Amino acid sequence: MARPSKPLLSRDRIVTAALALVDTEGLAALSTRRLAAELGVSGPSLYNHFATKEAILDAVADTVIDQVDLSMFRDGADWRQALLDWGRSYRAALTEHPNIVPFLATGPGLRPAGLRMADAVFGGMVDAGWPPAQATRIGALMRYFVTGSALGSFAGGFVGDADAYDPADYPHLGQAHLLAGHRERVDEGAFETGLQALLDGLALQYPDGSAGAGKPAADSTGRLPGEG
């Protein structure tokens, strides 16, 4: 039997093509018609694998999150080191695919890799002694921080024209036109500074090094006393 002239359509092939399209042209470029054209198939054939465009986006987003290392939570690392290593891996995955970040920022939904990540972080924090309610907040805080850092470049937001920053109007921005040329250094440095400050702030809540020490116990719902 002769081989088909084109690779058979599959979920993996659709997701790979969709991610490549989002990476190169952005979320707005992704449509079932455009994706079908990229794959050399008819539009309706995509629906044999995905019911909707949203389902394709969910799979694309989950593919990106599946790249995030979660081994530090399984290995029982110190909670601070675990958050540090996870935060760096999380950001690396997002900065590799920045155009999908706005979609990812909405939360894990029912995406398996996203839920595995949420489960690993929450479990790691609770195992380290954090009350469940606080462990939930830490996971949320880290997601806000990491996705926010990947949404855009601070340094890249400045133009390279020195004349754009008149010292009469902006007396402290005399070197701002140089920032875009050091985009990676500035943005990565800002992320590391913020991550360390975030972890320092959490550690101050437990100066004796025990995450659960000295804090009121949560009830079975994960609420702290006084929380509604």
Q: Report whether 15 contacts 60 (CB < 8 A).
A: yes
pLDDT tens figures, 120-155? 999 999 999 999 999 999 999 999 999 999 988 888
Say whether pLDDT at 221 is over 50: no
**Per-residue three-class SS string for 7-55:** CCCCHHHHHHHHHHHHHHHCHHHCCHHHHHHHHCCCHHHHCCCCCCHHH
Rounded Cα distance, 152 and 156, in Å: 8
Average pLDDT over residues 79-94: 97
Three-state DSSP state, 6: coil
Separation of alpha carbons 225 and 146, rounded Å: 30
Model confidence pLDDT, tens digit, residues 151-210: 888 888 999 999 999 999 999 999 999 998 988 899 999 999 999 999 999 999 875 545
pTM here?
0.83
Give the other-Cβ count within 10 Å of 53's Cβ: 16
pLDDT at residue 75 in the model: 84
* Cα(212)–Cα(206) distance, integer angstroms: 8
CA–CA separation, 30 and 51 (whole Å): 15
Instruction: Extract the tokens encoding 24.
Output: 């190169």
Averaged pLDDT, 24-43:
93
Calculate the dihedral angle through the C-alpha atoms of 202, 208, 212, 217, rounding to the nearest 10 degrees.
Answer: -100
In this model, does residue 211 exceed pLDDT 80?
no
